[in-house]
Amino acid sequence: MVEASKIYHRYDKNSGYALSNINFIIERGEFVFLVGPSGAGKSTLLKMIIREIIPTKGILKVFGHDVARMPRHRVPYLRRNIGMVFQDFRLLEERTAFENLAFAMRVTGASNRDIRRRVPYVLEMVGLPDKADARVCDLSGGEQQRIGLARAIINRPAMIIADEPTGNLDPDISFEIMHILRMINLRGTTVLVATHDREIVDRLKKRVIHLEQGRLTLDEEKGAYAGAL
Ligand code: ADP
């Protein structure tokens, strides 16, 4: 799904490397946490996977294609196959849950009929079957992030990338959000979560990739936030 070989990145010639010699493979169906202090390079790596930035050196393959050599017309196809979840939700706040999801489907050319069938199904999956007509701004933070998850999966992407998805949420709500991500993963979608949430990482016992100052310092199955002590 994602294969990084000897990736380096620097934002400009005079700055240091934001990423140095990063190597890993994420297989189809995996659930992976990406952890590390602020400035470690997590966002840089996520942006590379969706080809917002291109590695300075090294090769990053996503779905088998080298992102640096990908022709421009393939980029929308790449992004359509990756559902994004953000810390600040990035929903259309004045619109209803249904409208947010319908909009995400419509941009891919879905018919009204597909939309009417798919939206209630996905709302049910994230545990909000009764909120289709609620405006996003009237929902709680946890509910808004559930809509964020629903939007991420609405077009059946191969992979979900979540960037600090629980950063604005209380611990109990955070755990519910992570539970839904795990359920999505169990249905076959690859999940990559960048997080600072130590408790969740320790409880879930999934693969953890640690970044520190742009370097990959640890990559362990069933890991913990602090790593092997
Ligand atoms: P994290 O997501 O782990 O907090 P980032 O990937 O945002 O880390 O940052 C990694 C390094 O790259 C940091 O030193 C940061 O200052 C630098 N950096 C991030 N974005 C930019 C940018 N747009 N221009 C220049 N430097 C950047």
- Strands of 215-220's sheet in order across: 82-86, 159-163, 190-194, 31-35, 207-212, 215-220
For the stretch 155-172, pLDDT in tens is: 999 999 999 999 999 999
Residue with the smallest CA separation from ligand 1 atom 19 is 44
Alpha helices (H) in 126-212, listed in sequence order: 141-153, 171-186, 198-204
Q: Are 118 and 110 in contact (CB under 8 A)?
A: yes
* Mean pLDDT, rounded, for 176-204: 95
Give, for ligand 1, the residue of 44, 87, 193 to mutate: max count of ligand atoms closer than 8 Å to Cβ: 44
Check residue 222 and give its pLDDT. 86
Alpha helices (H) in the chain, listed in sequence order: 42-49, 75-80, 97-106, 112-125, 141-153, 171-186, 198-204
Check residue 159 and give its pLDDT. 98
Q: Is 9 in the pocket of ligand 1 (CB under 6 A)?
A: no
For the stretch 133-158, pLDDT in tens is: 999 999 999 999 999 999 999 999 99
Q: Is 165 in the pocket of ligand 1 (CB under 6 A)?
A: no
Distance 76 CA to ligand 1 centre (A): 24
Distance 181 CA to ligand 1 centre (A): 26
For the stretch 50-99, pLDDT in tens is: 999 999 999 999 999 999 999 989 999 999 999 999 999 999 999 999 99
AA letter at 217: T
Q: How confident is the model at residue 225 (pLDDT cuts 50, 70, 90)?
A: confident
Round to whole Å and give the CA distance between 191 and 188.
9
Q: Is 44 in the pocket of ligand 1 (CB under 6 A)?
A: yes
Q: Is 19 in the pocket of ligand 1 (CB under 6 A)?
A: no
Task: Give the number of the atom of ligand 1 that is nearest the alpha carbon of residue 37.
Answer: 3
Q: How confident is the model at residue 228 (pLDDT cuts 50, 70, 90)?
A: low
For the stretch 99-138, pLDDT in tens is: 999 999 999 999 999 999 999 999 999 999 999 999 999 9
Q: How confident is the model at residue 23 (pLDDT cuts 50, 70, 90)?
A: very high
Q: Is 39 in the pocket of ligand 1 (CB under 6 A)?
A: yes
Q: Is 11 in the pocket of ligand 1 (CB under 6 A)?
A: yes
Give, for ligand 1, the residue of 43, 163, 210 to mutate: max count of ligand atoms closer than 8 Å to Cβ: 43
Of all helices (H) and strands (E), which one includes residue 216? strand 215-220
Check residue 217 and give its pLDDT. 95
